[in-house]
Chains A and B, each alone.
Chain A
Amino acid sequence: AQSVTQPDIHITVSEGASLELRCNYSYGATPYLFWYVQSPGQGLQLLLKYFSGDTLVQGIKGFEAEFKRSQSSFNLRKPSVHWSDAAEYFCAVGLYSSASKIIFGSGTRLSIRP
């Protein structure tokens, strides 16, 4: 069965520090991969997506993610976080065989230390 694992439930980093959020997936083929961000009281906003091609993907708000097939990973990175980046981050996998159904990870809550 397809699955998405975000091993870190909560991460705290200092403002200006670099960030890496981990995501591992289980799927038999190359999936569609996504990162979404959710601020309190808001819906999910797409940060970036990977469908094919270059394995380093640039997104909005200065985020990037790298698809590593050998590790079944799609980690999200940002070189310098801002206080406004505090939110919940979700990794998701899209399944070729199910039209546009996607499976979400359990999320990582990011806190920013002043």
Chain B
Amino acid sequence: DAGVIQSPRHEVTEMGQEVTLRCKLISGHNSLFWYRQTMMRGLELLIYFNNNVPIDDSGMPEDRFSAKMPNASFSTLKIQPSEPRDSAVYFCASSFVGDQPQHFGDGTRLSIL
């Protein structure tokens, strides 16, 4: 079975540009989580969805960040405009509500110059 698929694996762009990170859930999963990992702050939950509905977005750092689930199997995390402090590894994970655990993708390493 395919795991959680993230794209791109690496993204380098200049500050001010729009960045879109993509995530495909494991088939049958109905919860989706976006995390950010940095050396300074560790692994932070940004937002999570159950059945396509955002449940908790308290971890989203600013209005520059937005996340959507246009359908049950796909999600995007968008940063507009991007800033150098957004540089991090962004992970998405999926699970089935009531039957944890979460399964992680390999992450997107984002560098904002």
Binding site for B on A (CB under 8 A): 32, 34, 36, 41-46, 49, 51, 90, 94, 98-104, 106-107
B34 at the interface (CB under 8 A from A): no
Q: Let me know if B104 and A45 touch, CB within 8 A.
A: yes
Residue of B nearest to A98 (CB): B56
Given contacts A90-B43, A107-B42, contact A102 B102 (CB under 8 A): yes
Q: Is the interface of A mostly helix, strand, loop or mixed?
A: strand
Given contacts A43-B91, A90-B43, A107-B42, contact A102 B104 (CB under 8 A): no
Residue of B nearest to A51 (CB): B100
The number of chain B residues touching the other chain, given as a range, is: 20 to 34
Residue of A nearest to B109 (CB): A41
Q: Let me know if A100 and B42 touch, CB within 8 A.
A: no
Interface 1/0s, chain B 48-71, versus A by CB < 8 A?
101000011000000000000000
Distance between Cα atoms of A51 and B61 in the complex (Å)? 31
Closest 5 A-B residue pairs measured CB to CB? A43-B104, A44-B104, A104-B43, A43-B106, A106-B42
Cross-chain contact of A100 among B100, B105, B106 (Cβ < 8 A): B100
Q: Let me know if A49 and B100 touch, CB within 8 A.
A: yes
Contacts of B97 in A (CB 8 A): 99-100
- The smallest beta-carbon distance between B107 and chain A, in angstroms, is 5
Residue of A nearest to B50 (CB): A99
